[in-house]
Amino acid sequence: MNEISTVTEAAAKAVKKPALPDAQTVTEVTHWTDRLFSFRVSRPASLRFRSGEFVMIGLMQTDEKTGKEKPLLRAYSIASPSWDEELEFYSIKVQDGPLTSRLQHIQPGDEIILRPKPVGTLVHDALLPGKRIWFFATGTGFAPFASLLRDPQTYEDYDEVIITHTCREVGELEYGKQLIDGIRKDEMLEELIGEGFHEKLRYYPTTTREESPKMGRITDLMRKSEVFEDLGVEALRPETDRAMVCGNLAFNLEIKEMLEEYGLREGANSDPKEYVVEKAFLD
Ligand code: A2P
C-alpha cells in the first residue's frame, strides 16, 4: 500500500514539476532590505568563468498566448569568485518586475534555470596593466565587484584596489559592507591585501537619500575632489589608474564621461584599455 502511494506521489510530483532545462538548486537566500536579496545556487561542474562575468538566469513562465511553459531569463552578474564551488547572485526585488517579482520568493531546495555561458566586459583581460584599480558601483552594480574583490588576481595585478558604492539608503550598503569585512578576515586574501597603512583594499561607501558618514553621489564627490582627499590619492590618470563601472544607466553615462575627461579610454576583451563599463541589471 505504502509503496503504491509513494509511486503515485512521485508521479504527481513529476507531472507538477517538469525538470527545468539547465536547472540548478538554490542553497541559500538572504534578504538584505525590502528591495534587495542575494542567493546561492549549485554550480554546474562544467562552468568556468572569469570573475566579473554574467550569465543568464531565470524561471519558467507560462506564455499567455500559447499556454506553453517557456524560460524567462535575465543577465545576472556572478557575485561569487571563480574559485567558489557554488554561485552567488545579488538582486533587486521589483514588485511588478516580470522575473524578480517571482525570483524574490525562492527558497533553498527550489530550482532556477542557469545557462552556463558566461560573458561580460568587467574582466581583468579588458584592461591594460596599471597601478591602481577603481571599482565604481551603484545599487546592485556591486555584484560583479563582489566577485572581483574576492579574486586573488585583483590584488596580484594592482598595488591599490578602491571600491566605491553609492546607494540610496544605509541598509542597501550592508551586503557590500559584510563582504568587505569577510575579505579582510579571509585567510587567503588577507595575506595578499596586507594590513593597516599598507592595506591594498579601500572601501568608500556613500548614500544619497539617508544620513550616513559619507553622503552624496560618487560623481559629485569626484568633481569636488572630496573622494581623492578622503582617500589621500591623486585624481585618476591614464598612466596609473584603471576603472570598472557598474550601475544604473544614468550613472554609467555620467561617470564614463568623467573617466574620458581624466584621459582614460574604454577597453574591451579584444582591445584592452583603461576602463570598462557594464549596466547593472534592472527588472
Ligand atoms: P540618487 O538617490 O541621488 O538618485 P538606484 O537605486 O536608483 O539604482 O540608485 C542607486 C544610487 O545611484 C543612488 O544613490 C542614486 O542617487 C545614484 N545615482 C543615480 N543616478 C546617478 C548618476 N547619474 N550619477 C551618480 N549617481 C547616480
- Nearest atom within ligand 1 for CA of residue 255: 24
Residues 132 and 64 in one domain: no
Q: Find the 138 Cα to ligand 1 centroid distance in Å.
A: 7
| The pLDDT value given to residue 7 | 37
What separation in Å is there between the alpha carbon of 89 and the centre of ligand 1? 21
| Residue whose C-alpha cell is 582617500 | 231
Residue 73 is assigned to a structural domain of this protein: yes
Residue 6 confidence class, pLDDT cut points 50, 70, 90: very low
User: Among the atoms of ligand 1, which is closest to the Cα of residue 282?
Assistant: 8
Assign residue 232 a region (left: φ > 0; alpha: ψ between -120 and 50; beta: otherwise): left
Give the span between the Cα atoms of 78 and 99, in whole angstroms: 17
Tell me what pLDDT residue 17 has: 54
Shared domain check, 219 and 158:
yes
pLDDT of residue 120: 96
Specify if 6 maps to a domain: no
* 5 pLDDT above the threshold of 50: no
* 149 and 46 within one domain: no
What average pLDDT does this structure show over 221-240? 97
* The C-alpha cell that represents 205 in the structure block: 561607501
Provide the number of structural domains found in the chain: 2
Specify the ligand 1 atom closest to the Cα of 248: 8
DSSP labels for 121-148?
S-SGGGB---SEEEEEEEGGGGHHHHHH
Domain final position from 101, 119, 137: 119
Provide the 3-class DSSP secondary structure of residue 191. Answer: helix
Instruction: Indicate the residue among 100, 119, 138 that finishes a domain.
Output: 119
Ligand 1, atom 3: nearest CA belongs to which residue? 208
What pLDDT sits at residue 195? Answer: 77
Q: Are 141 and 246 in contact (CB under 8 A)?
A: yes
Same domain, 145 and 237: yes
**CA-based radius of gyration for the chain:** 21
Mutate to test the pocket of ligand 1, among 91, 168, 249 (most ligand atoms within 8 A of CB): 168
Whether the CB of 166 sits within 6 Å of ligand 1: yes
If you take atom 1 of ligand 1, which residue's CA is the nearest one? 208
Q: Which is higher by pLDDT, 64 or 36? A: 36
The string of pLDDT tens digits covering residues 43-95 is: 998 999 999 999 999 999 998 889 999 999 999 999 999 999 999 999 999 99
Give the residue numbers spanning the domain of 231.
124-279
Final residue in a domain of this structure, among 119, 153, 183 = 119
Q: Does a structural domain hold residue 2?
A: no
Q: Distance from the CA of 43 to the center of ligand 1, in angstroms?
A: 32
- CATH code, domain with 53: 2.40.30.10
Q: How confident is the model at residue 2 (pLDDT cuts 50, 70, 90)?
A: very low
Percent of the chain with pLDDT over 90: 83
Atom of ligand 1 minimally distant from the CA of 167: 14
Return contacts of 66-73, CB within 8 angstroms, 24+ apart.
Answer: 69/18, 71/20, 71/21, 71/113, 72/98, 72/99, 73/99, 73/113, 73/115
Residues 91 and 204 in one domain: no
SS3 273: strand
Whether 136 and 25 map to the same domain: the answer is: no
Task: Examine residue 103 and state whether it is found in any structural domain, yes or no.
Answer: yes
User: What is the predicted pLDDT for the residue at 89?
Assistant: 98
Quick check: 20 pLDDT over 90?
no
Each residue's pLDDT tens digit, 162-203: 999 999 999 999 999 999 999 999 888 888 888 776 789 999
User: Averaged over 225-246, what is the pLDDT?
Assistant: 98
The closest residue, in CA terms, to atom 22 on ligand 1 is: 251
The pLDDT tens digits for 124-154 are: 999 999 999 999 999 999 999 999 999 999 9
d(CA 188, CA 173): 24
Mean pLDDT of the chain: 92
Is 175 found in the same domain as 71?
A: no
Q: Are residues 140 and 104 in the same domain?
A: no
Q: Are 215 and 209 in contact (CB under 8 A)?
A: no
Separation of 208 CA from ligand 1 center, angstroms?
7
Mutate-to-test residue for ligand 1 from 35, 100, 138, 246, highest number of ligand atoms within 8 A of CB = 138
Domain identity same for 48 and 72: yes
Examine residue 68 and state whether it is found in any structural domain, yes or no: yes
Mean pLDDT across 13-40: 84
Residue 3 lies in a domain: no
Q: Do 36 and 150 belong to one domain?
A: no
Q: How far is the CA of 247 from the centre of ligand 1 (A)?
A: 8
Res 87: pLDDT = 98
pLDDT confidence bin for 4, thresholds 50/70/90: very low
139 lines ligand 1 (CB under 6 A): yes
Q: Exposed e or buried b for every residue in 178-202, given b needs 16+ CB within 10 A? A: ebbeebeeeeebeebbeeeeeebbb
Q: Is 223 in the pocket of ligand 1 (CB under 6 A)?
A: no
Query: Do 167 and 250 have their domain in common?
Result: yes
